[in-house]
Every structure is written in structure tokens, then in C-alpha cells.
């Protein structure tokens, strides 16, 4: 974890515009590639993220496909009614508003609560000290000045995402309990939350206004309705029937890797495959699928993909699921489409596979926690344990 002094340099700050938001605010990013703490950040993230992925999977939205799966389960339970409301909200500037000392304490409480006294042979007190280097000793350059970050963590540091997730898993506890008690769905993707609601809209607004007061650093902006976008999927309660399709942000430009770029042919094939697979997973109706398929083809043509190449790739993809399929750039049989979609929905997405593999690593090379101790989290997360547990 020692930095290489020959190429070590301060992190430097730059800004990315959020073109999909009104007023086009900017997102501060820190380039930490050669920063002195980068190796520590990557190491801690490597050992802590699997624990989060494993212990918090019930309330984590991995991607749009996982949200569709969970809402389909909710629907099959008979909980989706014609009056069921959807609610989404996002946390403003989560990474840069994390309270540093509190986040470190919550990390300790999280590890204690799940029975960890050591992770990969490292005491959690040592882990806290290393994490404090990432959060509290973060120095960066901007312009001709040097700054120390006193609130939040670096967007660009591997560990910041995991710390933000662990902080939010603690912040959301009351909300999760409320939703679980009433049988409603709650899921979070980093700083974006999706909920269902079967009481009045007025009660929901009252709850969210109260939630906005829970922590001075955590403020949310919410939307309520029967049809809302979340990540890249549009979800609609169509009179008690769940309808889904691909969502495109209004500011999104129709650009992908141009066919004329210097990339191997399989790169272009994978781009088409990924777009078609997303369209199939997300489109709950044959009509929505064909609309998205046409949009994909237009976008590819715009980026100079040959029409014959597009149609060949479409056919190659469809023929994997439908034997003896005629050579068509689209499926003209609704029944065949739903058969294909059922097969695809039964398979995990690459991202879901990645998270599952990460979660499987949570307790590898960790001593099993003592049953009695695992039920008793350390009452003072600032004070290390006096006796050895693992």
C-alpha cells in the first residue's frame, strides 16, 4: 500500500457538467490515479465492498433489470393495485456531503453489527485508521492552490462509494422498517431510491418531508406518480399492471462508439448485443420492444454502422433463443418475443453476476464471528475491542 514516490502527485480537481439536470450543475471529480492514498483506498474497497454487497443485498438495487425483477415479485404478491404510487428520490451531493467522523463511526458499527472484529486478518480499528486517511487527510490541487477536504469523500476514490453505501444503509433503517412493516418495496442504488406506496399521497409527502430532517447533510429531492423513470428504465402502474420500457434521458445524445473507429469487430457486435438485450429485458410489451429496436437501429445508422451488419447482428442474437428463426431484423411474432424474454430474464446481467461474486467473497479468509459477540455490536465504535475475537 506504500505509494511510489517516483510518480506520486496530489489529486487534482475537475468538474463534469450534469447535462441531464436543469441549470446544468457540475459534479466535482478528483483524479486520484497517482495520489499517495490511492493504494490504501483500493485495498480497503477490495475487502469492504464484498461485505456490503453480501449484508445489504435485500435493499440494494443493482441495475434496472434487478428492479424490474423485484417489482415483478411485488406484483405477484398482489400488492400492486390500481392506486399504488411509485416514488423516487435522490440524495443531493451524497459523496461530497458525507460527514467524515460519523461515516467512520458508522463503518465500525456496521462491521461490529455483522460480527466482524477482523477483516482479512486486519483489526477493524486498523481499518478505521486507514479509512480516516482516505477521508480526513484528503488533499487536492485546483488551479494554483492546495485544499484539504473537510466534508465528504473524493469522487474518484475507490473507497468513497463503499463508505457512502454503508452510511446510507444506516441512514435508511427507519424508512426500510416502515416499508417492510406495510409490505411495500424499498430499494436503493447508491444515492437514488425507489419506493412503492399504497396509502395517500399526502401521507407519503409528509413522510418524505420528515425524512428530509433526519440528517443535516442528507437532503433529498423526490417525485411521486404512477409512471416514473429510475436509472434507465421507465416503470408504469397501468391500472394495477406493471409496464416497463427503456428510459432515455431527454438530454441524451444518440452517440455510441462509431463504426469507423479503430476497434476490433467484436466491440461493435457487443454494443449491438447489449442494446438488444436491454430492450428485451426492459420491454414488457411487444410494442415497446419494437419501438426500442427501431430506435437502436436508427442510432446505429447515425453512427455509421452498415445496415447489413446491424441486421446480421440482430439475427445472430435472436437465433440464440429462437431455433430456426427466419432471417429478420425483428421478431414479428409476439409469442416468440415473450418466449425469448422469459429466457433472458432467467439469466443474471453481467453486473448482477459481478455483485454476486463480490458478495461470495465476504467471508473468505475471515474467521467466523463468535455467535455471542456477533449479536452484541460494540457500544462505543470509537473504542477498539479489548479482547481478540477472530
Domain borders along the chain are 11-246, 265-345
Q: What pLDDT, on the 0 to 100 scale, is given for residue 376? A: 44
Contact 283, 289 (CB under 8 A): yes
Q: What pLDDT, on the 0 to 100 scale, is given for residue 367? A: 59
Name the residue among 211, 201, 250 with its Cα closest to residue 86.
201
Q: How far is Cα 311 from Cα 108, in angstroms, rounded to an integer?
A: 54
Mean pLDDT by 10 residues, the chain (390 residues): 76 82 81 84 96 97 98 96 97 94 98 95 96 92 90 88 97 96 97 98 97 96 97 97 95 91 96 96 96 96 97 89 55 82 94 96 71 46 44
Q: What pLDDT, on the 0 to 100 scale, is given for residue 329? A: 47
24 Cβ neighbours under 8 A, 6+ residues apart: 17, 18
Name the residue among 355, 331, 323, 235 with its Cα closest to residue 276.
331
119 Cβ neighbours under 8 A, 6+ residues apart: 47, 48, 51, 111, 127, 366
Q: What pLDDT, on the 0 to 100 scale, is given for residue 319? A: 84
Q: What pLDDT, on the 0 to 100 scale, is given for residue 387? A: 43
pTM value? 0.87
Amino acid at each position: 500500500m506504500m505509494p511510489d514516490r517516483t510518480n506520486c502527485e496530489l489529486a487534482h480537481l475537475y468538474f463534469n457538467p450534469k447535462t441531464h439536470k436543469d441549470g446544468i450543475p457540475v459534479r466535482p471529480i478528483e483524479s486520484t490515479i497517482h495520489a499517495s492514498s490511492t493504494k490504501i483506498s483500493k485495498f480497503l474497497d477490495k475487502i469492504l465492498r464484498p461485505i456490503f454487497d453480501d449484508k445489504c443485498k435485500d435493499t440494494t438495487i443493482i441495475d434496472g433489470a434487478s428492479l424490474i425483477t423485484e417489482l415483478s415479485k411485488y406484483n405477484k404478491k398482489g400488492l400492486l393495485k390500481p392506486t399504488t404510487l411509485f416514488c423516487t428520490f435522490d440524495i443531493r451531493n451524497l459523496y461530497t456531503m458525507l460527514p467524515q467522523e460519523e461515516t467512520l463511526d458508522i463503518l465500525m458499527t456496521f462491521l461490529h453489527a455483522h460480527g466482524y472484529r477482523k477483516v482479512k486478518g486486519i483489526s477493524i480499528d486498523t481499518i478505521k485508521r486507514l479509512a480516516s486517511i482516505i477521508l480526513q487527510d484528503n488533499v487536492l490541487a485546483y488551479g494554483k492552490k492546495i485544499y484539504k477536504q473537510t466534508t465528504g469523500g473524493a469522487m474518484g476514490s475507490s473507497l468513497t462509494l463503499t463508505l457512502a453505501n454503508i452510511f446510507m444503509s444506516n441512514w435508511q433503517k427507519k424508512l426500510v422498517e416502515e416499508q417492510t412493516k406495510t409490505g411495500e418495496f424499498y430499494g436503493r442504488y447508491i444515492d437514488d431510491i425507489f419506493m412503492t406506496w399504497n396509502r395517500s399521497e399526502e401521507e407519503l409527502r409528509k413522510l418524505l418531508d420528515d425524512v428530509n430532517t433526519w440528517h443535516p447533510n442528507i437532503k433529498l429531492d423526490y417525485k411521486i406518480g404512477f409512471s416514473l423513470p429510475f436509472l434507465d428504465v421507465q416503470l408504469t402502474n397501468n391500472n394495477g399492471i406493471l409496464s416497463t420500457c427503456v428510459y432515455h434521458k431527454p438530454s441524451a445524445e444518440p452517440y455510441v462508439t462509431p463504426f469507423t473507429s479503430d476497434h476490433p469487430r467484436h466491440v461493435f457486435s457487443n454494443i449491438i448485443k447489449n442494446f438488444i438485450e436491454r430492450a428485451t429485458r426492459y420491454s414488457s410489451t411487444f410494442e415497446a420492444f419494437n419501438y426500442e429496436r427501431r430506435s437502436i437501429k436508427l442510432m446505429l445508422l447515425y453512427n455509421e454502422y452498415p445496415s447489413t451488419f446491424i441486421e446480421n447482428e440482430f439475427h445472430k442474437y435472436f437465433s440464440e433463443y429462437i431455433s430456426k428463426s427466419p432471417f429478420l431484423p425483428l421478431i414479428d411474432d409476439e409469442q416468440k418475443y415473450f418466449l425469448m424474454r422469459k429466457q433472458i430474464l432467467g439469466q443474471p446481467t453481467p453486473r448482477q453476476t459481478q455483485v454476486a461474486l463480490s458478495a461470495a467473497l465476504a467471508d473468505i479468509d475471515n474467521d467466523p464471528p463468535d455467535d455471542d459477540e456477533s449479536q452484541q455490536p460494540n457500544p462505543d465504535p470509537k473504542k477498539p475491542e479489548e479482547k481478540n475475537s477472530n
